[in-house]
Amino acid sequence: MKNKLLQFLILIAFAFVTFVRAQTEILPSPTPMSSAAVPSASNRQMAGMDSMNQMAEMCREMMKSEKAAMPFIISASVLFGLLLLTALILLIVLEVLWIRYWVRILKQPQSQRTDQITTRSARVE
């Protein structure tokens, strides 16, 4: 049981690392400089529009990769939520069982409880 739980936790860790790696950063490619000695106003405007177009393209590419990874991130979040819900349900069941056990023990007369304790301690020795 512990071995399967450990394997499952390792699988979740590898899946999380894979999702993090899917968020790669795309660096813009360098632009070649013009050979003109003194850039004119129109050249400067064109250079400004060029860099804006490159930034817009880079932003589009980043958004594509984020959109592609989104189903995996959502499924991992849902799986983690289901595991937490299962753990909570099991904890509630355990608490109910303990309450029933102690109610049954405490309803017994004191003499029977002490007899059970002495017989158990005698068996242990």
- In tens, the pLDDT along 59-112 reads 999 898 888 889 999 999 999 999 999 999 999 999 999 999 999 888 888 877
Residue 105's pLDDT is what?
87
Residue 118 has pLDDT above 70, yes or no: yes
User: What confidence tens digit (pLDDT) does each residue in 29-67 have?
Assistant: 655 555 545 556 666 667 677 888 889 999 999 898 888
Which residues have CB under 8 Å from 79's CB, separation 6+? 12
**pTM beyond cutoff 0.75:** no
DSSP string, 17-68: HHHHHTSPPPPPPPPPPP--SS--HHHHHHHHHHHHHHHHHHHHHHHHHHHH
- Residue 88 tokens read as 């909570």
Average pLDDT for 3-32? 70
